[in-house]
Structure 1
């Protein structure tokens, strides 16, 4: 990344490196001049790219092991992407959700304060109830599910410390990485329609979807600037989920008639998902230099990436 070149060495630890954003960050940061990179996840490394960084497996719930990892690597920055992100998983196991998404984050922020490590933390539009979007960073959260509540509590835990921390909230992350096992809304719609399968897509939820490359770049900008505070990261155009699926069909010239609309109530999401979120990006554009990519522009880039990975 050009943002990191020419500066003093940065030692960056990425948690959750097997995840969607985690793998994209590793791909962008591996081998960058003046960057020493350590990737960690609970299991074995699942990123096909194994060059330009160190991987060490670590369960973040094992506090002693994680502290040992941090102390041995001595990072200047931690990008914390590890989390339980499924709404349903958080509802099924609220205690695990609290341990991973809230309690660990508070301890991590305190550790970063103690060791003077810059922290970048990933949060979500689900901290809002969706009744008054799009949202500014200073709008009052009011989550309507356990996942959103856990992220809001984690944000508060970070802000109670004196750590230097950038909290990046984001929305409906999509895109492509080298790992073919990682999917998302865009790839799911494309693959199903390519196979001639009919799909149902919710028509009364609205989002500003975030290309994973943009989100990774925003994390790197936060690192480079040692940013502190809350920043909203997404695209700029509001779509219904149905409209996003239709854009996929149009872009890949697939049969739009296979897409059937369904309401949030019909799939049990009327109360546990915000109806309309979206972000106002003025702060992140001004302070971070963030430049969002439009949905259709990102689709053209995704086509190139799929071809690179032999997954056209």
Structure 2
């Protein structure tokens, strides 16, 4: 009698086992894409399908699937999605260079808007949860830090494409979440992707005098934190817009000085300048920054401080030396 009862409970437990979600990541060769792969391999929380244009550049090839996928090729995107049947997509692929977007508007629209429409159509058809990456550049920078429901007003074409992408999602019939982020930093395994932290560190180590703007304020985001937020959004089936960044608010000049302080580099070769003196192709918002309350409450998002983020980057660099 006891044996039969125990057997019945075993059957019940098997019936209620939770199936591990399958996620497909676009742009997996990029900094964020590689950090998502890294977290999945370390923690095993989901089954991963990594996709990018061209060959896989992540050094570890086992523990997940990789498929070549050009997001500008709708037929190829459809074939990949039908093959792997993901429960969710984390869409990281985009044109993010602000000046390049301004100079190549047609291509920026294709990559940042039209490619998303392809994914939306397939997600609607196949009931796939779509997590899309966006940016603080949807704001004009006059009233930061911003909440999720503050009015958007981009000052660059890059920002315009990201607003257009968000509007596509809002008018769609799929389940979606937008994760807006700010000034992502970190290192890839092959050190192939630069960002402001790595640029500043490299230039100061070589004793190159550098000019840095002192009239733009941001909340820099550790790539590992953003990767964690992406996975949390999938696991919690998040809906709507979330602001994801670091928790420290600083000027770009302060950021570079903090990099110099952390690695004990010479700050005297840093010259502060105004944004206007750079004559950049695209305009940048002045003060962005995010209010993180919603992400902390709904997703249990817990970002590192900037100093803690630099320590993580330093540890990873030391492992590659």
TM class, shorter-chain normalised? Answer: over 0.9
Where does residue 88 of structure 2 map in the other structure? 77
The gaps in structure 2 that reach 5 residues or longer are 1-16
Where does residue 6 of structure 2 map in the other structure? none
Secondary structure (helix, strand or coil) at the match of 2:68 reads coil
**1:7-18 counterparts in 2 under 5 A?**
7-18=18-29
Separation in 1, partners of 2:282, 2:95: 20
Secondary structure (helix, strand or coil) at the match of 1:107 reads helix
- For residue 110 of structure 1, report the CA deviation from its aligned partner: 2.5
2:177 to 166, 180, 198: 166
What TM-score, normalized by structure 2, do the two folds share? 0.92
1:236 to 218, 227, 247: 247
- For residue 249 of structure 1, report the CA deviation from its aligned partner: 0.4
Aligned residues: 305
- For residue 51 of structure 1, report the CA deviation from its aligned partner: 2.3
Where does residue 96 of structure 1 map in the other structure? 107
**1:206-225 counterparts in 2 under 5 A?**
206-225=217-236
- Are the aligned partners of 2:94 and 2:112 in contact in 1 as well (CA < 8 Å)? yes
RMSD over aligned Cα atoms: 1.5
- Whether 1:259 and 2:263 are equivalent positions in the alignment is no
Larger radius of gyration: 2
What is the CA deviation profile of residues 183-214 of structure 1, one whole-angstrom value per residue up to 9, with x for unaligned ones?
Answer: 11101111111111111111110001101010
- For residue 226 of structure 1, report the CA deviation from its aligned partner: 0.7
- Are the aligned partners of 1:7 and 1:34 in contact in 2 as well (CA < 8 Å)? no
The gaps in structure 1 that reach 5 residues or longer are 1-5
1:122 to 130, 133, 151: 133
What is the CA deviation profile of residues 235-264 of structure 1, one whole-angstrom value per residue up to 9, with x for unaligned ones?
Answer: 122100000000000011000111111110
- Cα distance change of structure 1 residues 33 and 247 upon mapping to structure 2, 3 Å threshold: closer
Secondary structure (helix, strand or coil) at the match of 1:178 reads coil
- Are the aligned partners of 1:264 and 1:270 in contact in 2 as well (CA < 8 Å)? no
**1:1-312 counterparts in 2 under 5 A?**
7-30=18-41, 32-33=43-44, 35-269=46-280, 272-310=283-321
The structure 1 segments of at least 4 consecutive aligned residues displaced by more than 4 Å after TM superposition are none
Secondary structure (helix, strand or coil) at the match of 2:94 reads coil
